[in-house]
């Protein structure tokens, strides 16, 4: 018998009221889908969050029907269907703009720690047995009856994140479950983490190094923006997992100061303060987007904003960099200097965001039109005029800058 409950803990219709409390469009969409696929059930996170009384984000369903049959039934009924993962048994029904992922019940034929070869089944317990944690292995039918084969309901109430079956076997099937454990423990766990889970994570942690960068960053981003960030990362460090993800080292006290400063739960900002790696190397390892890579570099280096800066100094900062880059860096500087919330720093950020960015009013074509021959000297003189404009607080307009250009080219500046 699984810990915390019997073979299957059903309480007839216990989620009926909570299903009725879903947004009207979701209720209508589910009613239509259940009318077409009466054997389908809600699965995974939606059941967990309904039981926990939390808001529901995505609505996923499972069904015994094979994916081609599901697609045919929905299409014939006029429901928009997107074949999002037919090889894995998944289609997405779109009703009134809301997506519903519908996946055929599966069992694993082969796994290699990253990918699985699956076969269809009509056995709900067999499908539940391949899921990661007991709290994610429950399903709910159209009558609101919860089907719980592994004690997930009791684990959820107890704040216990526990692997389905043998923890090491689940991790060997997909090493990403190591990172998912920490993410779910932060959100749903309470107290000391499950001993069997922690022992399996330590024994199988090397599998994390073979995961794709995209999958790692997807989970790490969620951990960084979730609850109990420092406690979660500390637990990951004790298990030796954090060193696999960020081998150059981490500064957990710096991250704690950042959070103590009231900084937003921005993953790139927290990563920039936490990780000691060179930004370019870190971005390459995690395959960050161009925007995230630029944000990471801007947070880590550049002129430091300060509430004591005068008007012209603030204008100069904005002329050189976008306000968002300066705001991100300001959080790092505030965390390093204070580590607590500060109205002065908040006012600085609000001021930077509210200002129009000063724009240098000349371009190379203006110098050519003024009679300068095209070539390297155009850029050199343009930079001299910009330096003059910048030194004056980025206030001079086009006419003043053209006058300065004339003085420079006449040799009288």
**pLDDT digit string (tens) for 13-72?**
789 999 988 999 999 999 999 999 999 999 999 999 999 999 998 999 999 999 999 999
Write the CB contacts of 145 (distance below 8 Å, at least 6 apart in sequence). Answer: 10, 11, 12, 13, 14, 15
Residues 164 and 45 grouped into a single domain: no
Residues 265 and 386 grouped into a single domain: no
Q: Give the pLDDT score at 188.
A: 97
**Measured distance CA(271)–CA(220) in Å, rounded:** 9
DSSP one-letter code for 205: G
Decide: 177 and 44 in contact? Cβ < 8 Å.
Answer: no
Mean pLDDT of 6-11: 41
Q: How confident is the model at residue 112 (pLDDT cuts 50, 70, 90)?
A: low
Q: Give the pLDDT score at 111.
A: 63
With 60 as the cut, is the pLDDT of residue 10 above it? no
The domain boundary residue, chosen from 111, 132, 158: 158
Residues 33 and 117 grouped into a single domain: yes
Residues 225 and 347 grouped into a single domain: no
Residues 228 and 270 grouped into a single domain: no
- By three-state DSSP, how is residue 41 classified? strand
Q: Which two three-digit tokens encode residue 397? A: 């307009």
Give me the CATH number covering residue 227.
1.10.3090.10
Q: Give the pLDDT score at 8.
A: 43
Write the CB contacts of 387 (distance below 8 Å, at least 6 apart in sequence). Answer: none
Taking only the tens place, the pLDDT of each residue in 195-207 is 999 999 999 999 9
Angle ∠(234,291,215) on CA atoms, nearest 5: 50
Residues 233 and 170 grouped into a single domain: yes
Helices (H) and strands (E) in the chain, counts: 22, 9
Residues 153 and 44 grouped into a single domain: yes
Token pair 């993953």: residue = 267
Q: Give the pLDDT score at 6.
A: 39
With 60 as the cut, is the pLDDT of residue 75 above it? yes
The domain boundary residue, chosen from 200, 229, 244: 244
Residues 141 and 16 grouped into a single domain: yes
Element spanning 326, H or E: helix 323-337
Model confidence pTM above 0.85: yes
Residues 5 and 131 grouped into a single domain: yes
Residues 180 and 149 grouped into a single domain: no
**Measured distance CA(243)–CA(173) in Å, rounded:** 22
The domain boundary residue, chosen from 99, 129, 158: 158
Q: How many CB atoms lie within 10 A of CB 22?
A: 16
Full residue range of the structural domain in which residue 304 is found: 246-358
Q: Give the pLDDT score at 124.
A: 97
Residues 74 and 134 grouped into a single domain: yes
Q: Give the pLDDT score at 2.
A: 40
Q: How far apart are the first and last CA of the chain?
A: 89
Angle ∠(197,203,209) on CA atoms, nearest 5: 105
Q: Which two three-digit tokens encode residue 217? A: 């960053």
Buried b / exposed e over 108-139, threshold 16 CB at 10 Å, is eeebebeebebeebeebeebbbbbbbbbbbbb
**CA neighbor of 168 nearest in space, from 137, 196, 133, 209:** 196
Contacts 24+ apart (CB under 8 A), 90-93: 91/67, 93/29, 93/33
Strand partners, 98: 95
What is the count of structural domains for the chain?
4
- The pair phi, psi for residue 382, each rounded to 5°, is -60, -40
Residues 351 and 206 grouped into a single domain: no
């Amino acid at each position: 018998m699984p810990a915390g409950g019997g073979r299957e803990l059903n309480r007839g219709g216990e989620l009926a009221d909570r299903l009725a409390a879903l947004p009207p469009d979701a209720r209508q969409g589910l009613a239509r889908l259940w009318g077409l696929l009466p054997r389908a059930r809600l699965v995974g996170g939606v059941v967990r969050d309904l039981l926990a009384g939390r808001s529901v984000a995505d609505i996923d369903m499972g069904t015994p029907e094979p994916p081609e049959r599901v697609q045919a039934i929905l299409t014939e009924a006029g429901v928009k269907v997107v074949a999002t993962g037919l090889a894995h048994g998944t289609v997405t029904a779109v009703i009134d703009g809301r997506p519903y992922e519908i996946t055929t019940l599966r069992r694993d034929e082969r796994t290699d720690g990253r990918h699985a070869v699956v076969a269809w089944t009509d056995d709900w317990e067999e499908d539940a047995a391949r899921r990661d944690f007991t709290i994610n292995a429950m399903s709910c039918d159209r009558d609101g009856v919860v089907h719980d084969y592994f004690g997930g309901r009791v684990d959820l109430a107890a704040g216990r994140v526990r692997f389905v079956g043998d923890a090491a076997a689940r991790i060997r099937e997909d090493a990403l479950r190591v990172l998912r454990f920490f993410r779910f423990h932060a959100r749903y766990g309470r107290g000391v983490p499950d001993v069997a889970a922690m022992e399996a994570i330590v024994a199988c942690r090397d599998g994390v190094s073979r995961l794709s960068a995209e999958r790692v960053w997807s989970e790490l981003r969620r951990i960084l923006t979730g609850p109990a960030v420092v406690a979660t990362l500390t637990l990951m460090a004790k298990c030796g997992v954090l060193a696999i993800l960020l081998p150059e080292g981490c500064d957990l006290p710096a991250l704690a100061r950042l959070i103590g400063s009231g900084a937003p739960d921005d993953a790139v900002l927290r990563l920039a303060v936490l990780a000691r790696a060179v930004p370019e190397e870190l971005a390459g390892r995690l395959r960050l987007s161009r925007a995230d890579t630029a944000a990471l570099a801007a947070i880590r280096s550049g002129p430091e904003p300060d509430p004591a800066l005068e008007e012209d100094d603030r204008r100069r900062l904005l002329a050189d960099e976008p306000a968002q880059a300066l705001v991100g860096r300001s959080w790092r500087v505030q965390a390093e200097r204070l580590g607590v919330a500060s109205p002065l720093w908040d006012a600085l950020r609000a001021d930077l965001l509210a200002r129009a960015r000063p724009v240098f009013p000349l371009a190379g074509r203006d110098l050519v039109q003024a009679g300068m021959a095209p070539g390297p000297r155009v850029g050199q003189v343009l930079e001299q005029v910009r330096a003059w404009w910048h030194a004056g607080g980025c206030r001079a307009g086009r006419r003043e800058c053209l006058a300065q250009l004339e003085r420079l080219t006449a040799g009288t500046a």
